[in-house]
Chain A
């Protein structure tokens, strides 16, 4: 274990140092400063905005009864991840020359479709669960509810 840790640590440290060295030596000072701002801004934006919104949503959801909550959480989570990818596409669609054949789709409509499908799937799974729980007593317990 100790040897693995040392080997990984040394390899990682060397690669990291090499990358930083090349960045510092090959970018001009102005670009380097902007890159530094990007790096700090990315962490600030994530830790100061994206993560708090996610955590806040989770706290707000605590009011929802647990039986339905897991499906709501799942749908929101999957939907949010898809939305993250779709937003830049929506912002960028239709901005490029036609012959590039890039960003020609209606990404807002496609996102709505994907989110609708996600919601429908989560609803269907929830309905299935409610139906199964209404089965007469004595039915075998469903395994994935054990947790």
Chain B
């Protein structure tokens, strides 16, 4: 699930022209990316317990019994290493913490392929063990030893009836309950950044939407984007290029027909919040520039670098707004004053802020 929702998110950045991202349901990205981060966070404790349960295998002797065994152990190393790094860096990303030199999105994406590939390979290798484990009765199963059952002389299937292992303290069920409770607490106390009603018990949640300016958190501030002077300049203009190009002053833009929409702002980091946006439909500007709903629209920010432009294609062209108001107030500098893009079912980072040019092709 984590892999699939992750790939859906990457698709938002580089969609194929024949398969544009749909504009509805408007909450879709909010749900898939919320799930991506929630399942990723839940996978951290799960991975630790899984690795603990197989830890004795690390010391089995001889370490390498055959070429085949050597390859299997190499694949397990790739699996463990990529899982640990993928989950750690993914979690740190949600804390806006980047203690590494590489670009996070592309490395996270390719490491995702490595991880899902090694998971599938591992399942292929262990399928006989998995089948045996699922068929055996819970109380009698000896899969807990993690010695492959067909190599284990004590396995029931090889040795006839053997008394079940004695576990005087915590047994399998106890382990399941303890791990399940731990993961349950983690999910319930972190998911509030996506599922708004659970924000109140978000003891370990990163974002608090209600504490953001105008009720919505900001990821890139006007200060860090270096747009403070440009965005407040008297001579700000919106250039719209296309077959019939034109330029608008802020006053002219604000006097155009505006509509209100309830779109969530959904961040790639998993947090999201519903908001009331008011602005000028992008399609009105596109038509005036000589385009239509089949046009490709690229919007450009005053921001000198980083994610300072984005593409609108397909259904997004008809659904997006050039927003002037957020939750009933004129959008402030950190939210993209004078105007920003907002579209449904779209990662927050692609809703470009501090716009100054729109290209219609």
29 contacting pairs across A/B (C-beta < 8 A): A4-B127, A5-B124, A8-B121, A11-B120, A12-B123, A18-B113, A19-B113, A19-B114, A23-B111, A26-B106, A27-B102, A38-B85, A39-B81, A43-B84, A46-B80, A46-B84, A47-B58, A50-B48, A55-B52, A77-B175, A78-B179, A89-B95, A89-B204, A92-B97, A97-B221, A104-B211, A105-B203, A110-B204, A147-B167
Q: Does B6 contact A (CB under 8 A)?
A: no
Q: Does B236 contact A (CB under 8 A)?
A: no
What residues of B have a CB within 8 angstroms of the CB of A51 in the complex?
51-52, 55
Contact of B95 among A8, A103, A110 (CB under 8 A): A103
Q: Cβ of A8 and Cβ of B179 under 8 Å apart? A: no
Q: Does B275 contact A (CB under 8 A)?
A: no
CB-nearest residue of chain A relative to B215?
Answer: A101
Q: Cβ of A15 and Cβ of B206 under 8 Å apart? A: no
Q: Does A114 contact B (CB under 8 A)?
A: yes
Point out residues on A near B: beta carbons under 8 Å. Answer: 1, 4-9, 11-20, 22-23, 26-27, 30-31, 34-35, 38-40, 42-43, 46-47, 50-51, 54-55, 61, 64, 66, 69-70, 73-75, 77-82, 84-86, 88-89, 92, 96-97, 99-105, 107, 110-111, 113-114, 118, 144, 147
CA distance A75 to B175 in the complex (A): 10
Q: Cβ of B88 and Cβ of A74 under 8 Å apart? A: no
CA distance A79 to B185 in the complex (A): 10
Q: Does B125 contact A (CB under 8 A)?
A: yes
Q: Cβ of B102 and Cβ of A8 under 8 Å apart? A: no
Q: Cβ of A110 and Cβ of B221 under 8 Å apart? A: no
Task: Give A128 Cβ to nearest chain B Cβ, in Å.
Answer: 14
Contact A107-B182, Cβ < 8 Å, known A16-B121, A101-B218: no
CA distance A49 to B210 in the complex (A): 40
Q: Cβ of B48 and Cβ of A70 under 8 Å apart? A: no
The winner among A12, A102, A144 for most chain B CB atoms within 10 A is: A102
Q: Cβ of A23 and Cβ of B173 under 8 Å apart? A: no
What DSSP secondary structure best describes chain A's contact surface? helix
What DSSP secondary structure best describes chain B's contact surface? helix
Provide the B94-126 mask, 1 if CB < 8 A to any CB of A, else 0: 011100111100110111111111111111110
What residues of B have a CB within 8 angstroms of the CB of A46 in the complex?
51, 80, 84
CA distance A124 to B279 in the complex (A): 56
Kindly state the interface size class of chain B when it binds its partner. 35 or more
What residues of B have a CB within 8 angstroms of the CB of A70 in the complex?
169-171, 174
Q: Cβ of A19 and Cβ of B111 under 8 Å apart? A: yes
What residues of A have a CB within 8 angstroms of the CB of B336 in the complex?
none
CA distance A22 to B221 in the complex (A): 32
CA distance A12 to B76 in the complex (A): 13
Q: Cβ of B185 and Cβ of A101 under 8 Å apart? A: no
Q: Cβ of A27 and Cβ of B173 under 8 Å apart? A: no
What residues of A have a CB within 8 angstroms of the CB of B167 in the complex?
147
Contact A114-B189, Cβ < 8 Å, known A12-B124, A43-B77, A81-B48: yes
Q: Cβ of B174 and Cβ of A74 under 8 Å apart? A: yes
Point out residues on B near A: beta carbons under 8 Å. Answer: 41, 44-45, 48-49, 51-52, 55, 58, 77-78, 80-82, 84-85, 88-89, 91-92, 95-97, 100-103, 106-107, 109-125, 127-128, 131, 139, 167-175, 177-179, 181-183, 185-186, 189-190, 202-213, 217-219, 221, 223-224, 334
CA distance A27 to B209 in the complex (A): 35
CA distance A11 to B211 in the complex (A): 45
Task: Give B121 Cβ to nearest chain A Cβ, in Å.
Answer: 3
CB-nearest residue of chain A relative to B220?
Answer: A100
Contacts A15-B116, A31-B103 known; list 4 others, CB within 8 Å: A1-B131, A39-B84, A73-B170, A114-B189
Q: Cβ of B213 and Cβ of A9 under 8 Å apart? A: no
Q: Cβ of A101 and Cβ of B96 under 8 Å apart? A: no
Contact of B169 among A5, A66, A81, A96 (CB under 8 A): A66
What residues of B have a CB within 8 angstroms of the CB of A110 in the complex?
189, 203-204
Q: Cβ of B91 and Cβ of A9 under 8 Å apart? A: no
Q: Cβ of B169 and Cβ of A19 under 8 Å apart? A: no
Q: Cβ of B117 and Cβ of A16 under 8 Å apart? A: yes
What residues of B have a CB within 8 angstroms of the CB of A9 in the complex?
120-121, 124-125
Contact A31-B204, Cβ < 8 Å, known A12-B120, A99-B334: no
Q: Cβ of B174 and Cβ of A1 under 8 Å apart? A: no
Q: Cβ of A16 and Cβ of B118 under 8 Å apart? A: yes
What residues of B have a CB within 8 angstroms of the CB of A20 in the complex?
110, 114
Contact A8-B169, Cβ < 8 Å, known A40-B81, A99-B212: no
CB-nearest residue of chain A relative to B119?
Answer: A12
